[in-house]
Structure 1
């Protein structure tokens, strides 16, 4: 865990489980894939536990979790899921309480903002667009072939570079140990939300600088006085 020694210049925010509850869309795509492979539908909470490590990991977990499916290779299943998710993406997702207000406050206080997600760009950017969050961000660092996924720090470091800041000058906000580990490896402080997906771990299992119940609590933790928060929010 990296201590905050001065007020940061930028805030990096995870997408799935931190800003947006996208599990209903992902579960819908998973179960369309399952139907094509003669597999049983999976409950939403089961799918929720697979989110956070990237699409390939999600599909791999589904294939290992659903007995009785028609034999298929991972690449075929991945292609099916991706096709269905393009259609489902954004249809049933919702923004968590406090997210839009928190982003607006941070922007008003002068922070640069980046969305940092393992979700591939063809899904991440349309999802942000669909829920009206795209204008909040200066850059979006996504899961793509050139950069390893979190918990590797590469996506966080890339976002910092695009924002013109060093990792130690930034703060990460996420929902799981994946985000906490990535931030620690990048040399960056990290706050975790108490809701979200947690990748099957307890909500308070990951080391971090603190926990928040909503994103609009973050500015106060970064040292902003109530008067400044009222003006920014």
Structure 2
């Protein structure tokens, strides 16, 4: 391990961070609504629901469409069926991701993907975009009893990578990633992909970047959290 590296592990979110998956998700969601005999929702509306897992996504879509909550089980099954067909079909890898991951591995960082996407969808998506090989562990939304913003998925990834949380960094794109990192006492960096700055409520400690060629330099500047016992 390079002694100059203070952050030894990087935990990456997936949707909206590494891969623009919104086109895949929106396509499946509107196919689900068509099956439920409801009108399609605008792209940005559905995209704004992404981040808290599939079940919550489906419930938000039902609410936005004024559909009965009792339809959730049927709607969830419908979405999963359609998403199995659209997953990886319309989305794209964000610029610089492949080179960034390869560069971090070459610099002896240990990498994990920590996502709220079910593992059955996350793993094939990473494989389709040829970035699965970079990760020592992939933690899906159904891998543990809890998902982000709970800290346990981040702690679990650190445990498997054999890196203390204070020597890891979470890289994400949303308040869910910020909350999970803060709960786990893991430093966090947020990629904006050219979007406006995040809300002030995230606090000044949350640093942002717009392209993955900036990440290596930002990692070297992150202050290390105080010593704490590694949690599994």
Does TM-score exceed 0.5, indicating one fold?
yes
Runs ≥4 residues deviating over 3 A: 69-72
Alignment deviations for residues 88-138 of structure 1 (CA, whole Å, 9 cap, x no partner): 111011011111111111111110000000000010001001111111111
- Output the aligned Cα RMSD: 1.9
Say if 2:62 and 2:68, in contact at 8 Å, map to a contact too.
no
Specify the alignment match of 1:162 in structure 2. Answer: 160
Q: State how 1:87-106 maps to structure 2 within 5 Å.
A: 87-106=85-104
Residue segments in structure 2 that go unaligned for 5+ positions in a row? 222-232
Q: 1:146–1:36: structure 2 CA closer, same or farther, 3 Å change rule?
A: same
Say if 1:18 and 1:196, in contact at 8 Å, map to a contact too.
no
Residues of 2 paired with 1:77 and 1:137: CA distance? 32
Residues of 1 paired with 2:121 and 2:143: CA distance? 14
Residue segments in structure 1 that go unaligned for 5+ positions in a row? 1-5, 225-233
The TM-score, its normalising length taken from structure 2, stands at 0.87
Residues of 2 paired with 1:50 and 1:17: CA distance? 12
The TM-score, its normalising length taken from structure 1, stands at 0.87
User: How far 1:156 moved relative to its partner?
Assistant: 0.6
Specify the alignment match of 1:42 in structure 2. Answer: 41
Say if 2:173 and 2:190, in contact at 8 Å, map to a contact too.
yes
Residues of 1 paired with 2:163 and 2:124: CA distance? 26
Residues of 1 paired with 2:143 and 2:18: CA distance? 24
Count of matched residue positions in the alignment of Structure 1 and Structure 2: 214
Q: State how 1:79-228 maps to structure 2 within 5 Å.
A: 79-144=77-142, 146-195=144-193, 203-205=197-199, 206-207=202-203, 208-223=205-220
Specify the alignment match of 1:25 in structure 2. Answer: 24
Q: Tell me the SS of whatever aligns to 2:149.
A: coil
Say which structure, 1 or 2, has more relative contact order (CA 8 Å, 6+ apart): 1
Q: Tell me the SS of whatever aligns to 2:117.
A: strand
Say if 1:25 and 1:89, in contact at 8 Å, map to a contact too.
yes
Specify the alignment match of 2:12 in structure 1. Answer: 13
Residues of 1 paired with 2:168 and 2:40: CA distance? 41
Alignment deviations for residues 166-199 of structure 1 (CA, whole Å, 9 cap, x no partner): 11110010001110110011011000011399xx
